[in-house]
Amino acid sequence: MIVALIDSGLGMLPTAAWLRRLRPDLDLLLQADPDGAPWGPKPTEWVIDRVLDTARQALRLGAEVIVLPCNTASVTALEHVRAEVGPQVPVIGTVPAIKPAAAVCSTVAVWATAATTASSYQADLIARFGGDADVTGVACHGLADAIDRGDLDAVEAAIAAAVAQTPPGTEGVVLGCTHYPLVVDAIVAALPPAVRLFDSAEAVAAQTLRRIDALGRPAGGSGTVTVVNSGRPGELPASAAAYESGRLLGRVVAREG
């Protein structure tokens, strides 16, 4: 069984790493879009068309399950992809971990791209799952793009700007973009020591496996990982391989175990 993961860039890696850790036999198809990245600032219809085209390619390449480990793609295109591929192909989106954060923290900041922060989708999630917590959206301008480029100076500058927008006394920060866990060490270093971080990669991977099990078909494979960049065979960006262990890609590899 081939599981396709669709994102503009490296944000798919945390979810892919959890799938590898939980089910190393699965064959993964990583579909990145360096030609169109970043998706966050793009018009909604552009993102929908881009994600739909990638989903169609996933089916042509044999995918039986599609995962959108990208908050922007999930906010704008999830229901469109589900309508396109039909009920026989599970499509799993990504939801910021607002509910678990609000359950244990009285003040929460949701770090996300500008598009996700401004979306009615995130506002609805906060209204539904924020409970009694005071939840604030923080737009992290340029952070996902800097991660994709491997520009660590720009990463640190974007994190510093996000920290400055985060209300004093915030108890929990939700990483509302799947790129952000890749720089979790830098985020931890920039935030006050008592702040708790929440991300959704493990939960998305677990939900993917539940949907696979519900298909009732043999799911085992050879553990192959195939990378497709903007519709063509490719590799992950060269900068990814150079990141320090515990900072970006090295952290994901370590989590694969």
By annotation, the residues acting in catalysis are 70, 177
| 207: alpha, beta or left? (left if phi > 0; alpha if psi -120 to 50) | alpha
Beta-ladder partners of 196:
172
Residue 245 gets which letter from DSSP?
T
Contacts of 204 (CB under 8 A, 6+ apart): 15, 18, 67, 69, 92, 94
Q: Is 169 exposed, middle or buried (0-12, 13-18, 19+ CB in 10 A)?
A: exposed
Q: Which of 200, 173, 150 is closest to 12 using CA atoms?
A: 200
For strand 225-229 and strand 196-198, is the pairing parallel, antiparallel, or unpaired?
unpaired
What is the secondary structure of 16-42 as a DSSP string?
A: HHHHHHH-TTSEEEEEE-TTT---TTS
